[in-house]
Structure 1
Amino acid sequence: MIDLYFAPTPNGHKITLFLEESGLEYRLIRVDISKGDQFRADFLSIAPNNKIPVIVDHLPADGGAPLSLFESGAILLYLAEKTGTLLSGELRERHTTLQWLFWQVAGLGPMLGQNYHFNHLAPQPVPYAIERYQVETQRLYQVLNKRLGSVPWLAGNHYSIADIAAWPWINAHARQRIALEDYPAVFNWFERIRTRPATERALQIAQQV
């Protein structure tokens, strides 16, 4: 059994997408970040960076005590290795997958997050920041479009944790002032993931939360 500490953010969606794809049994525990649940002492004991998502695996492979993990990329890697799914064991494909996973967690997520912040949440407009993050967002979409123009999935020929990591951020494209039609390969990839049964189930769960 996996406990997933969750809020319906792009990083939270990554883990429900994986869990629904893999069929791994899990329990969803809501963290209401609007009320500051992420700063509670019990949550901080497993999430020292006070962010979701976090998992607790009550049946780790070593047979030991429950194992907790924070950081969405680390969680995806752990779950892929635990289940043997969505991460190839073949050397080149595996490391291509990890390369794009790290691209998402180090670049795509943070830059698109800053785009959203300065466009929607900043207490006053900061034109330099708005322009800087919009330009970087467009650049990252171009990188993604080029990659997906040559292969069906980020890792190559197979759907993987790299796609799962990136998709929830692209799902927020309207908030980033991005017209997805301007990036046809990204649009095609986005729609193929959006219509997967596991994606539909994960999004329904998020709406309930």
Structure 2
Amino acid sequence: MVQKEGIALVVSGPSGVGKDSVINALRERYNDIRHSVSVTTRAPRESEIDGVHYYFRAKAEFEAMIAEGEILEHDIYCNEYYGTPRSPLERMRREGINVLLDLTVKGALSLKESYPDAVLVFLIPPSEAALRERLLNRATESQEIIQTRLTESWEEMNSAFEFDYLVVNDDLLQAVRDIEAIYWAEKHRASRLFIDGMQ
């Protein structure tokens, strides 16, 4: 059996829910899935590398990419742009490469409009207190930004049931296992496959 095209597996959820940890764990476990590197206008965190974690761009450059149709979907979160570059995603999917995307909630829903077969996973924190603690433990942002992220995070929870799957990230290993199960099931979905030699 052969996949018709690569799967777009989207992991989303509120800020601080642990998307980066989950995505990094998935990338370490699977050779057959590539991470889609997003473009953002926010400043890089100390450990982040341009072209690896994000493509860091000035707002004017990002807006030019939108105008040229190079951004497939984009969102503004905490006054910064985030978006998915069109060409790499389309090329990988055409080549049968499965792609893992880390998107904002709005960005994930926007991508689903262009790719109805994209698989959307919404990560949920175990509680509001746990989410607050995770954001505070980051120690990379001011109290004002943390409060803004908390407010926006709970507003985003209203979109959870527009996603295909919900996964509680209370225990990293269990959350990764849950997404692995989703990924393996989607790889074997009949509508995604054809049997070589059969029409």
TM normalised by structure 1 equals 0.29
Which structure dedicates a bigger proportion of its chain to strand? 2
Which protein, 1 or 2, shows the higher relative CO under an 8 Å CA cutoff with sep ≥ 6?
A: 2
Which structure dedicates a bigger proportion of its chain to helix? 1
